[in-house]
C-alpha cells in the first residue's frame, strides 16, 4: 500500500518536473487556431518556425464546436491562439481558454490574437441589439475570412504577432508574408476574371454569412432562408421568400456545406432555384487543403451554379 503510494507520488513529481522543465527547450512557436483557414494562414506566414493546429474542422459549423476537454491539450501548450473573433466562437472557445490554464493565451496576453482586429468589419448592427433579432453578432459579421483582401490582412496581422513573439525569426516572417502575397497575386487574374462573370448575380443565402463574399464579388443578396440568424425559419417567411425568389428570378440559393440542407433544399426546389452547397473553410472537403484551394473551390462552385 505505502509502496504504491510512494510510486504514485514519484510519478506525480516526475510529471510536475517535466511540466516545469518543458518550455525551456528550443521548440517551434506553437500556434493553435480556432478554424482551419486561420491555421493555413498561420502556416503560410510561420513556415518552419511554427507548429500549427486547428481546434475545429472545416466541415463543422464554427458557431457550434463542442468544447471537448481534449481540445485543452493543445491550448495548454500554445504560445499563440488565433481566433476569428466578433463572438463567432463565444459558445465554445472562452471556457477552453480559461480551462487551458495557459497564461500565454489569455485575453490581453501577447499570445491571444483576435484576427478580426485586422479587417474592416461589416454588418455592425446600428441601434439597439437584442436577441429578438435572433443569434445576432452585436459587434459585426464574423464570416470575413473568404475574400482574399481580408485573408492577406489577417496573414499580415499574424506575421506581425509572430515577429513580436519570436523576434529572432522576424525576417523569416516578413519573407513568408511576401511569398504568400505573391501567391495571392499569382491567383488574382484568374480570381478577378471569375469574379467579373459573377457580378450582379442574384442570390439567397441560407445564413447571413456571405456578406463579405457578396461585397467582394458584387453578388446581390435578395433575402435569407433564416429570417433571423440561428433561428429555424417559419413556414410563412419561407412562403414569402419563395414568392420573392420567383418574382426576382433568383436562381441561386447558397448554403455552407455543414448546414442541414432540408429546409434550404425545399425552398430552392419550390422557387425553381439551384441549391449551391459552398465550402466556407479550409477542410470543408478533403480536396480543400489550403486557402487558395478554398477560394478556387468557392468561385468554381458559384460559377457552376450561375450557369
DSSP state letter for 124: P
C-beta closer to other proteins: residue 46 or 140: 140
Shortest Å distance, C-beta 53 to other proteins: 12
Shortest Å distance, C-beta 242 to other proteins: 20
Site for other proteins, residues 201 to 220, rule: CB under 8 A: none
Q: Pattern 240-269, binding to other proteins, x per CB under 8 A?
A: ------------------xxx---------
Element (H, E) at 298: helix 291-306
The Cα 185–Cα 141 span in angstroms is 26
Site for other proteins, residues 84 to 113, rule: CB under 8 A: 85-87, 90-95, 98-101, 103, 106-108, 110, 113
- Cβ-defined contacts of 28-31 (< 8 Å, 24+): 29/79, 29/80, 29/162, 29/165, 29/166, 30/74, 30/77, 30/78, 30/79, 30/80, 31/78, 31/79, 31/80, 31/81, 31/82
Of 195, 148, 194, 154, nearest in space to 177 by CA: 154
Using an 8 Å Cβ cutoff, are 114 and 170 in contact? Answer: no
14 touching other proteins, by CB under 8 A = no
Owner of C-alpha cell 436562381: 251
Phi-psi region of 128 (alpha: psi -120 to 50; beta: other; left: phi over 0): beta
Shortest Å distance, C-beta 157 to other proteins: 6
C-beta closer to other proteins: residue 190 or 269: 190
Site for other proteins, residues 31 to 90, rule: CB under 8 A: 57, 59-61, 64, 66-70, 72-73, 76-77, 85-87, 90
Number of residues that bind other proteins (CB under 8 A): 83
- Window of 27-35, 172-180, 237-245, 296-304 that interacts with other proteins by CB under 8 A: 172-180
193 touching other proteins, by CB under 8 A = yes
Identified binder of other proteins from the candidate list 125, 170, 230, 265, rule CB under 8 A: 230
Beta bridge partners of 204: 253
Element (H, E) at 181: helix 170-198
**86-89-155 Cα angle (round to 5):** 65
Identified binder of other proteins from the candidate list 9, 15, 171, 304, rule CB under 8 A: 15
Identified binder of other proteins from the candidate list 82, 88, 177, 254, rule CB under 8 A: 177
Of 183, 180, 187, nearest in space to 162 by CA: 180
Identified binder of other proteins from the candidate list 111, 140, 223, 279, rule CB under 8 A: 140
C-beta closer to other proteins: residue 56 or 252: 56
The Cα 184–Cα 10 span in angstroms is 54
Identified binder of other proteins from the candidate list 192, 239, 240, 269, rule CB under 8 A: 192
Identified binder of other proteins from the candidate list 9, 27, 185, 287, rule CB under 8 A: 185
Of 272, 149, 154, nearest in space to 204 by CA: 272
Shortest Å distance, C-beta 103 to other proteins: 4
Q: Which residues contact 73 (CB under 8 A, 6 or more apart)?
A: none
- Window of 34-42, 133-141, 219-227, 239-247 that interacts with other proteins by CB under 8 A: 133-141
CB hemisphere CA count around 292 (13 angstroms): 12
Site for other proteins, residues 265 to 294, rule: CB under 8 A: none
Q: Pattern 110-129, binding to other proteins, x per CB under 8 A?
A: x--xx-xxx--x--------
Amino acid at each position: 500500500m505505502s509502496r504504491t503510494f510512494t510510486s504514485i507520488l514519484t510519478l506525480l513529481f516526475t510529471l510536475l518536473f517535466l511540466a516545469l522543465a518543458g518550455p525551456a527547450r528550443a521548440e517551434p512557436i506553437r500556434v493553435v487556431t480556432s478554424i482551419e483557414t486561420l491555421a493555413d494562414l498561420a502556416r503560410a506566414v510561420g513556415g518552419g518556425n511554427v507548429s500549427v493546429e486547428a481546434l475545429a474542422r472545416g466541415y463543422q459549423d464554427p458557431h457550434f464546436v463542442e468544447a471537448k476537454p481534449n481540445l485543452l491539450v493543445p491550448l495548454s501548450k500554445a504560445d499563440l491562439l488565433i481566433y476569428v473573433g466578433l463572438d463567432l466562437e463565444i459558445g465554445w472557445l472562452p471556457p477552453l481558454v480559461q480551462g487551458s490554464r495557459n497564461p500565454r493565451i489569455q485575453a490581453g496576453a501577447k499570445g491571444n490574437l483576435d484576427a478580426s482586429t485586422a479587417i474592416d468589419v461589416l454588418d455592425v448592427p446600428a441601434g439597439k441589439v437584442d436577441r429578438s433579432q435572433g443569434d445576432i453578432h452585436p459587434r459585426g459579421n464574423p464570416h470575413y475570412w473568404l475574400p482574399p483582401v481580408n485573408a492577406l490582412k489577417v496573414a499580415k496581422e499574424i506575421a506581425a504577432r509572430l515577429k513580436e513573439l519570436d523576434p529572432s525569426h522576424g525576417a523569416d516572417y516578413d519573407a513568408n508574408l511576401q511569398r504568400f502575397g505573391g501567391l495571392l497575386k499569382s491567383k488574382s487574374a484568374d480570381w478577378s476574371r471569375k469574379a467579373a462573370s459573377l457580378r450582379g448575380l442574384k442570390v439567397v443565402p441560407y445564413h447571413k454569412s456571405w456578406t463579405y463574399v457578396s461585397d467582394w464579388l458584387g453578388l446581390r443578396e435578395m433575402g435569407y432562408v433564416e429570417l433571423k440568424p440561428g433561428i429555424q425559419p417559419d413556414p410563412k417567411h419561407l412562403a414569402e421568400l419563395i414568392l420573392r425568389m420567383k418574382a426576382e428570378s433568383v436562381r441561386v440559393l447558397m448554403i455552407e456545406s455543414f448546414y442541414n440542407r432540408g429546409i434550404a433544399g425545399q425552398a430552392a426546389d419550390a422557387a425553381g432555384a439551384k441549391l449551391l452547397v459552398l465550402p466556407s473553410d479550409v477542410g470543408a472537403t478533403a480536396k480543400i487543403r489550403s486557402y487558395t484551394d478554398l477560394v478556387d473551390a468557392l468561385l468554381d462552385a458559384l460559377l457552376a451554379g450561375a450557369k
